[in-house]
Amino acid sequence: MLEIKNLHAKVEGEDIEILKGVNLKVNAGEIHAIMGPNGSGKSTLSKVVSGHPEYEVTEGEILFNGEDITELDADERAHLGLFLAFQYPVEVPGITNKTLLREAYNTIARANDREELDPLEFEDYLIEKLNVIEMKDEFLNRSINTGFSGGEKKKNEIFQMAVLNPKLSFLDETDSGLDIDALKVVSDGVNKIASNDNAIVMITHYQRLLNYIKPDFVHVMMAGKIIKSGDIKLAEELEAHGYDEMQKELALNGEAQ
Amino acid sequence: MSEVAVKETMLNFISGEIDATSDSVAIKAINLRGRDALESTAFPTRKDEDWRFIDLKSITRNNFVSVSSAGVKEAGDISDHYLPESLNTRMVFVNGVYNEELSSIEGLPNKVIVGNLSEYGDHDAVKEHLGTITNYENDAFAPLNDAAFKDGAFIYLPEETSVETPIHILNIFTDSDKAFYATPRLLFVGEMYSKATIIEEHIGLADNVYLNVPVTEFRLFAGAHVHHARIQRDSKQANHVSRPIAMLDQHAEYHSYTICLGAKLFRNDPRVIQNAQEVDFTVDGLVLIDGEQIADTHSIMDHRFAHGKSHQLHKVVVNDSAHSIFNGKIFVAKDAQKIDSFQENRNLLLSEEGTVHTKPQLEIFADDVLCSHGATIGHLNDEEVFYLHSRGLTEQKSRELLVYAFALESVESMEVDSVEKMLLEEVIQYTNRDLKG
Ligand SMILES: Nc1ncnc2c1ncn2[C@@H]1O[C@H](COP(=O)(O)OP(=O)(O)OP(=O)(O)O)[C@@H](O)[C@H]1O
Ligand SMILES: [Mg+2]
């Protein structure tokens, strides 16, 4: 579904290279986790994949279902089925969740020759999706993320994911800021959304999340690259020994450049 | 050889005699006062503090003639501009001249007057109040209205009466052969505990040059409550210089909302004067300008007695090379304790070429007051744009939504459904134009 090959990206208009040759392959039905220390480029990777204009791809490609999407605008990528749950969801005063979601849902539907939903149908659809994440319906008419608590913002991202039903989602530290109850609810929601037709890439610092959403693959990102991939055991190893140890070990084995 | 520079006056930009002569003693006195002031008041220049930033060329390069010699066109069918809420409380003025046929005043409560000033020149309230609170010192514009107006809206509410439907004062401006000046006038007198909503609109039907100098006077006695919406949709070549003023007695509430969409040059000097303790007023504004439009608001919130509450939210969106100026004065007199005054000017700049000047000006002589003010100038937030964009909305649509959201709050204070709907359409039209970001 997603294939990232030797991806290099820098900050637009500046000489700051952040991604330094990322390789990642995600198939339908898979759940991946990316872990890595602060500043290693995890969020940047997710933003570059979703088309953030702040970054420029200087080398490599991002293939989505075989199509190179590096030149596409963010909305066109969303129409193809990409979704980013932001690490820091933005507050947008004056635009309600419902307004955004209806506009987004129908725009995506149009782009894919699917039926749009009228306001009443959409209302029902939203109510149904609220259940996925146990969110109260009052959130529909509130301005996007405005005045939401940290946890509510993260929940709202997953709610949007449920509504837009993307093929591939990057969840950037969706677990940070959630208390244990919310973590369970959100994980539950993500597990409900996950299917054989879609794929999820979670970015996290904590192994705890992986107890609730079981990844098929775990990747370790450092200094703009994925330096090691494996299964859940990799996360356990990290939790036990930390990134430094792993880096040293890789250096010894001559794996890290 | 030295020469004393002769100062220009408004009359330098006017051709022909100003021919208003009313039968009413009260109106005639104002007409004469205006003529004197026109001759003696210098036309503002950039050297005047209150006119520092504004380019008045679109006035000074013209010679405006009176409506009667401008070859003005008929208004035609303007029913699209009627408010369904005000079908029987509507006064229509075409280029400042009252048009009885297009107006409709029916079923008003007993003793309430909504009529042409020229017919009520001898009414006690007119004699007593007309022109009494409008002395704008050293002002070159209000005197033109004073000197030249014949017709005008006169709204009178006796004690404890309320008019349920909004009163729609519809000022229509038509195409013309020559650039003309028009002098819409509005006198509102609300006796104790009266209540009304006034929608004052200015609409240019064509794209012609004219000078619109409306003067509106609101005298609110104790406990009177007024909601006053002013919507300026003049021709995009027009000049609109308005002087809306209100004076409030104890427990009076005056909430005004000025929406600026049209005109090449808009200058608005709203003033609210607190004339007794415990009043509550609003001087909100929403300005949406693009192209080469100039919109300048110089407001005064004049707190003269204790326990006043006032609020001013002035929101501005500037695109292309448009230019917005805001100067908000808050006066608090020495004994006017416990004033609670809030002022905020928020500017959204959508282009590189646009200009915003903003200046709060607080002159506070009392020591126990709560006055807050602030001004912000910002672009659309890139992260907000990207957030919406990443959800599948085009970048343009994302920007549109954000500008819409910015303007929404002001539109929602209209309180009249059809007006809100109309304004939302205006906002959408505005945002549909190229939003450069
Ligand atoms: N627009 C930018 N301008 C300059 N530097 C940037 C920009 N965006 C990201 N960076 C830098 O790139 C590096 C990677 O940032 P990124 O946010 O991708 O890290 P991260 O792995 O998500 O970290 P965290 O775990 O703290 O969220 C950091 O050093 C960051 O400061
Ligand atoms: Mg991050």
Q: What is the pLDDT of residues B402-435, one digit of tens each?
A: 999 999 888 888 889 999 999 999 998 898 876 5
Interface test with A, best of B315, B381, B384, B390 (most A CBs within 10 A): B390
Give the pLDDT score at A61: 95
Question: Greater confidence, B359 or A255?
Answer: B359
Give the pLDDT score at A256: 46
Whether the per-residue pLDDT at B120 is higher than 80: the answer is yes
Whether residue A222 has its Cβ less than 6 Å from ligand 1 = no
Mean pLDDT of chain A: 93
Q: What is the pLDDT of residues B83-94, one digit of tens each?
A: 999 999 999 999
B386 neighbourhood in chain A, CB within 8 Å: 52-54, 74, 90
> What does the pLDDT average to over B320-337?
96
B382 neighbourhood in chain A, CB within 8 Å: 53-54
ipTM of the complex, rounded to two decimals: 0.95
Picking from B381, B384, B390, the nearest residue to A78 by CB comes out as B390
Tokens of B301: 């919130």
Whether the per-residue pLDDT at B5 is higher than 70: the answer is no
> What does the pLDDT average to over A234-253?
82
> What does the pLDDT average to over B317-338?
96
Distance A34 CA to ligand 1 centre (A): 15
> What does the pLDDT average to over B71-84?
97
In a domain, A212, yes or no: yes
Picking from B387, B390, B408, the nearest residue to A92 by CB comes out as B387
In a domain, A130, yes or no: no
Whether the per-residue pLDDT at B289 is higher than 90: the answer is yes
The contact set of A with B (CB < 8 A) is 50-54, 73-75, 77-79, 84, 86, 89-90, 92-95, 99-101, 103-104, 107-108, 111, 143-144, 160, 164
Whether the per-residue pLDDT at B144 is higher than 90: the answer is yes
Distance B305 CA to ligand 1 centre (A): 56
CATH number for the domain harbouring residue A35: 3.40.50.300
Q: Which of A244-253, B150-159, B301-310, B392-401 bottoms out in mean pLDDT, i.e. has the lowest?
A: A244-253
Using CA coordinates, name the residue in chain B closest to A89. Answer: B387
Q: What is the pLDDT of residues A200-214, one digit of tens each?
A: 999 999 888 999 999
Picking from A75, A101, A108, the nearest residue to B389 by CB comes out as A75
Residue span of the structural domain in which A21 resides: 2-95+166-252
> What does the pLDDT average to over A68-78?
96
> What does the pLDDT average to over B370-382?
93
Give the pLDDT score at B437: 47
Whether residue A41 has its Cβ less than 6 Å from ligand 1 = yes
pLDDT band at B399 (very low <50, low <70, confident <90, very high): very high
pLDDT band at A83 (very low <50, low <70, confident <90, very high): very high
Q: What is the pTM of this model?
A: 0.87
pLDDT band at A241 (very low <50, low <70, confident <90, very high): confident
Whether residue A247 has its Cβ less than 6 Å from ligand 1 = no
3-class secondary structure for chain A? Answer: CEEEEEEEEEECCCCCEEEEEEEEEECCCCEEEEECCCCCCHHHHHHHHHCCCCEEEEEEEEEECCEECCCCCHHHHHHHCEEEECCCCCCEEEEEHHHHHHHHHHHHHHHCCCCCCCHHHHHHHHHHHHHHCCCCHHHHHCEECCCCCHHHHHHHHHHHHHHHCCCEEEEECCCCCCCHHHHHHHHHHHHHHCCCCCEEEEECCCHHHHHHCCCCEEEEEECCEEEEEECHHHHHHHHHHHHHHHHHHHHHCCCCC
Give the pLDDT score at A247: 80
Give the pLDDT score at A29: 96
pLDDT band at B4 (very low <50, low <70, confident <90, very high): low
Whether residue A19 has its Cβ less than 6 Å from ligand 1 = no
pLDDT band at A229 (very low <50, low <70, confident <90, very high): very high
In a domain, A120, yes or no: no
Domain count, chain A: 1
In a domain, A161, yes or no: no
Distance A40 CA to ligand 1 centre (A): 7
pLDDT band at A257 (very low <50, low <70, confident <90, very high): very low
Whether the per-residue pLDDT at B14 is higher than 70: the answer is yes
